[in-house]
Structure 1
Amino acid sequence: MITVSTEPAYQSPAVTIATTLPQSGLDSTVLIVGVVSGDPDSPEATPTVLGSEFLSAEAVAEIEKALVALGAKGGAEQVTRLVAPSLGVGSVLAVGLGKPRDEWPADVIRKAAGVAARSLNGTEAVLTTLSEVDLEATVEGLILGSYRFVDYRSAKTAPKDKGLSSITVLASGKDAKKRAQRATAVATAVATARDFVNTPPSHLYPAEFAKRAKALGSSVGLEVEVLNRKALEEAGYGGIVGVGKGSSRPPRLVRLVHRSGRKDAKTVALVGKGITFDTGGISIKPAASMHHMTSDMGGAAAVIATVVLAAQLELPINVIATVPMAENMPSATAQRPGDVLTQYGGTTVEVLNTDAEGRLVLADAIVRACEDNPDYLIETSTLTGAQTVALGARIPGVMGSDEFRDRVAALSQSVGENGWPMPLPDELKDDLKSSVADLANVSAQRFAGMLVAGVYLREFVADGVQWVHLDVAGPAYNTGGPWGYTPKGGTGVPTRTMFAVLEDIADKG
């Protein structure tokens, strides 16, 4: 048995690799197996256990017999707990994969593993054969499905289970350990982003967010720079300062830099919106569901987690994260509709709606990020309610340079975060004209709100930089019940998308 060192910072379960099925000490272990549904049109169809080199024909027959007795169908993400005495494990959890396939998409396995983990929280140890289909997806799904956020619960309500304690994946191959380590690091990064998003705004305000980002970055050797309000004012970051004016808790700008040490390395800029709470300012939001705005720093959370992950896994590219942090509040000092501010770099903006604050802080950060002369720029934000109107709660909108946009969307789909490419029509810029400034921060039209926001951001991207804008207003925060490996609350989207893009750039340029 090979132990995979994970040292999870956020209590991710320990992961080990087994190259043979353990023969003893499994009394408290649950074995997770995949189950394929039978023909739905046949009344005699029965579920079958996914083939495994680690399970004997007798063991498979015992599990399938029990599944039939329990009425299991093997439908996607259906879980069935049973006993199989001959295997020596405490119990077996059969998780449905749906209809038979010649090849299994990674996200089917990831979701199945996530559902299994959610149903087994508090279990001391699990053993699984799902890893034979896709090792990385299995590890990611089990860790992400096991995720719990209980930091602010007292002993009165704290759940007894804290997620899975340990995971053993059955796998063969020389690179199994390396693959499991990578998957564990990726899942732990997503958990980091989730933790940031789930931390209440009473405890995660700009100064505290910057402090935690600095500590996390320093722990992996990143270069860290933090600008406070005075420094922001002196340097001309009018968007960040303007948005933060209404709060007693002043804004910050955090810069985290991973350098590869290679002279020929590509440079990628990451920018993430870090509004630690958004009331809408003077253009105040309706009270209903305003508490969900604890997630308005989801883009920043994902960016911080991604640059830290790039350092941990020593990606051979330069990654520079620029993260604006502010709290958007109404007060006697807050900016007003009709005010004009000057973005970093000199563009003047008429603020017609103080609830369109994200694009103001992002514009400052994008201009600063472009001063590093990156080859690519990836910006992500919980930017517009229009994203959920256009694409729903689970699909990020991907906008920007056409070729890079399509590349990012394809990679997002490949990792199960399902970004969808969207256009930035040139004619929408006319809707951002102002009679008193260079730009207005919103359009007078009600349509294409997600695209209009992207067009606004495009104005601040330097010529020659390939860039994308990921609008994750819905996908970054799950307001409904858990599903697959996705919990209620912070999801960590689009951490895996951005890291997949960084790896792709490191590999292909």
Structure 2
Amino acid sequence: MNFELKTLSLAAAASHKCDLLVLLVPEGLAPQADALSQLVASAIKDGDLETKPGKQLSLYAPHGIAARRVVLLGCGKGGAHAVRQAVQALGATLKSAAIKRAALVFCMEPEVGAVGAAVRAMADASYVYTATKPKAEPRALSRVTVGVADAAAARAEFATAAALVTGIEYARDWANRPANHATPTLIGDAAKALARHAGIQCKLHGPAQVAKWGMGAFLAVAQGSDQPLRFIELRYDGAPRTQAPVVLVGKGITFDTGGISLKPAAEMDEMKFDMGGAASVLGVFRALAELRPAVNVVGLIPACENMPDGRAVKPGDVVTSMSGQTIEILNTDAEGRLVLCDALTYAARFKPQALIDIATLTGACVVALGALRSGLFASDDELAARLQAAGDAALDPCWRMPLDDDYADGLKSNFADVANVAGRAGGAITAAKFLQRFVGDLPWAHLDIAGTAWKGGAAKGATGRPVGLLLHYLLDVAATSGSRRKAAAPRRARAV
């Protein structure tokens, strides 16, 4: 979907030709003399429109208005959260086949974050998955004009949001695909496709190379599947090579049966979403290709299936990780931490300024935080604070959880250096403590997105989280490391 930002007053919006004109109406709006302002004022005065976020009044072909349909949309006090809530209420309208061009116009000076929230909410509300639905109607909405009083003032925020939408939708599309359409090989192909964008490189490694590196934990998870594993290495160079990169590690279990520790059949189909961390890394790189910020980023994705084949790893087996630590696998359904631990060890070779892993890791995190906030575990207070601030700015929030050393006691094993699970209590924390063993002294954070990466029920589907959080963090790194690289100027035809 294409977004454009325009300076658009309410008087000018009345003559803007489109299929749908949406006016964001805040509390206490002072009426002006133009037709749209008078229309809004009358609707509020007569009690036909409330300004609470999401309350709306739909009109068809009102006199003197160029748009065929007009929606007066309450947005409360006009903050980012209220604007997002309001626009999301337009879901059914935005998916109408008759709506191809829309304009979303602020009736007030937008607060910081409100323009970005509007762009992301428009994309989210109109998103349609079609990759494996050949007879499905694709998204009809193709162009959205965002109208504000001063486009220049909102330009940077708008550009970030538009790029973020591109990345989020890339992540959603791949996370939503059924496992037979998103095998480790196909995820590798998706990563390789990103290398067509300037500044991005991709390397794909197969089982032989992974075995050569000694990634015994990763290999153990993959050995029960007929699908060959892929270790995906992405690199974005937006800053001088002397600047240490941020390394993102995304869990890429393309389907998780639980292995020999088989999951219950109910809702097992949702285990295609167990590569949500990998999808978020792909989405971040897609957004980086649009924005070209001055930061270096490495993305690592250990991708494989977890299947209960006769060759599959068994409870009680002991494997040797790339770090040399041995692991007793007490539960084969705790496989994400096994593929991640080897990727985290590999990440150290890049000497990163920060190491962040993203994983749909534990049901315990869903119990603790629900679907609103991702779980954040960090060994570094500054990194934790920056990630939390980035999540708040992106409306993609997280919550810091404890990492006390005593939580690791349950991971002790009589037969290996460490067990891959502890007891039920504090399961999200003990999983994070397991991962912490493999990062050394690096500034490290772990995002458990088991509750936020997808929705179940009637709204079943990937959310694209935490692409927003990660991108805002990387932009913060770029801003503090130096000014953002200017986007390459478009080529112009030469006079001859």
Moved more, 375-384 or 169-178: 169-178
Residues 443-468 of structure 1 show CA distances to partners (whole Å, capped at 9, x for unaligned) of 0x2110000111011101121x2111
Q: Using the alignment, how far apart are the partners of 1:489 and 1:333 within structure 2?
A: 32
Q: Whole-Å Cα distance in 1 between the matches of residues 277 and 205 of structure 2?
A: 19
Residues 1:475 and 2:447 are matched in the alignment: no
**Distance in structure 2 (CA, Å) of the matches to 1:222 and 1:150:** 27
SS of residue paired to 1:183: helix
TM-score for both structures, normalised by structure 2: 0.89
**Contact 1:117/1:164, CA 8 A, preserved across alignment:** no
Per the alignment, do residues 51 and 247 of structure 1 end up closer, same or farther by CA in structure 2, a change over 3 Å counting? farther
| SS of the residue 1:215 aligns to | helix
**Are the aligned partners of 1:274 and 1:299 in contact in 2 as well (CA < 8 Å)?**
yes
Provide the C-alpha distance between the structure 2 equivalents of 1:434 and 1:466, rounded to a whole number of angstroms: 27
Of 93, 108, 124, which aligns to 1:119?
93
The equivalent residue for 2:464 is 492
Q: Where does residue 214 of structure 1 map in the other structure?
A: 192
> Which residue in the other structure is 1:148 paired with?
128
**Quick one: distance in 2 between partners of 1:217 and 1:107?**
35
Pairing partner for 2:343 from 361, 365, 375? 365
Residues 1:60 and 2:45 are matched in the alignment: no
The amino acid across from 1:265 in the alignment is Q
The CA deviation at 1:506 is 1.5
CA-to-aligned-CA distance 1:210-258 (integer Å, 9 cap, x gap) = 1111112333441211110111112211122111111110111000011
Equivalent residue of 1:76, what SS? coil
- CA–CA distance in structure 1, aligned partners of residues 292 and 52 of structure 2: 40
Q: CA deviation at 1:163?
A: 4.3
Check if 1:170 corresponds to 2:147. Answer: yes
Measured in 1, the distance between the counterparts of 2:3 and 2:268 equals: 37
SS in 2 for 1:319: strand
**172-181 or 215-224: which moved more?**
172-181
Q: Map Cα deviations across residues 417-462 of structure 1 (whole Å, 9 max, x no partner).
A: 110111112101111011111100000x211000011101110112
Distance 1:405 1:166 in 2: 37
Distance 1:261 1:500 in 2: 17
Specify which of 283, 294, 298 is matched with residue 272 of structure 2.
294
Q: Which runs of 5+ in 1 are unaligned?
A: 1-11, 38-47, 483-487
Q: Give the deviation of 1:126 after TM superposition.
A: 1.2
1:15 aligns with 2:4: yes
Q: Matches of 1:364 and 1:150 in 2, distance apart? A: 35
- 2:79 pairs with 1:105: yes
Residue 314 (structure 2) aligns with = 336
Amino acid at match of 1:223: Q
Equivalent of 1:503 in 457, 472, 475: 475
1:163–1:107: structure 2 CA closer, same or farther, 3 Å change rule?
farther
Alpha-carbon contact 1:130-1:138 (below 8 Å) kept: no
**Pair 1:447-2:428 in alignment:** no
Letter in 2 for 1:167: V
1:416 to 387, 392, 395: 395
Which aligned runs of 4 or more in structure 1 are off by greater than 6 angstroms? Answer: none
Shift of 1:180: 2.8
Cα pair 2:197 2:289 within 8 Å, conserved: no
Aligned to 2:487: none
Q: Is the 8 A contact 1:31 1:127 kept in 2?
A: yes
- Residue 356 of structure 1, CA deviation: 0.1
Give the equivalent residue in structure 1 for 2:171.
193
Task: Structure 2: state its 5+ residue gaps.
Answer: 482-496
Alignment partners' CA distance in 2, 1:154 and 1:307: 27
Q: What is the Cα-based RMSD across aligned positions, in Å?
A: 2.2
Q: Secondary structure at the match of 2:75?
A: strand
* 1:310 Cα offset (Å): 2.3
Q: 1:31 maps to which residue?
A: 21
Quote the Cα distance in structure 2 between the aligned partners of 1:25 and 1:260.
Answer: 39
Post-superposition offset of 1:305: 1.4
1:481 Cα deviation from its structure 2 partner: 4.8
Shift of 1:85: 1.8
Moved more, 13-22 or 190-199: 13-22
CA distance in 2, matches of 1:31, 1:255: 44
Aligned to 2:484: none
Amino acid at match of 1:31: L
Counterpart contact for 1:310–1:319, Cα < 8 Å? no
Superposed counterparts of 1:363-442, under 5 Å:
363-403=341-381, 404-442=383-421
SS in 1 for 2:271: helix
**Superimposed CA distance per residue, residues 368-397 of structure 1 (whole angstroms, 9 cap, x where no aligned partner):** 111110010111100000011000022101
Q: 1:253 to 1:433 in 2, by over 3 A?
A: same
Q: Return the TM-score normalized by structure 1.
A: 0.87
Q: For 2:463 and 2:147, locate their aligned partners in 1 and report how far apart those are by CA, in whole Å.
A: 27
For residues 121 and 57 of structure 2, the distance between their equivalents in structure 1, rounded to whole angstroms, comes to: 18
Aligned residue type for 2:188? A
Give how far 1:494 is off: 0.3
Q: Which amino acid in 2 is paired with 1:415?
A: A
In structure 2, do the counterparts of structure 1 residues 118 and 457 end up closer, same or farther at CA, with 3 Å as the change threshold?
farther
Report how far residue 301 of structure 1 moved.
0.5
Equivalent-residue separation in structure 1 for 2:85 and 2:303 (angstroms): 33
Amino acid at match of 1:333: R
Matched, 1:138 2:118: yes
Give me the whole-angstrom Cα distance separating, in 1, the residues matched to 2:182 and 2:21.
39
Q: In structure 2, what is the equivalent of residue 248 of structure 1?
A: 226
Q: Which amino acid aligns with 2:479?
A: D
Which amino acid in 2 is paired with 1:170?
G
Give, in whole Å, the separation in 1 of the partners of 2:336 and 2:241.
35
Q: Is the 8 A contact 2:25 2:106 kept in 1?
A: no
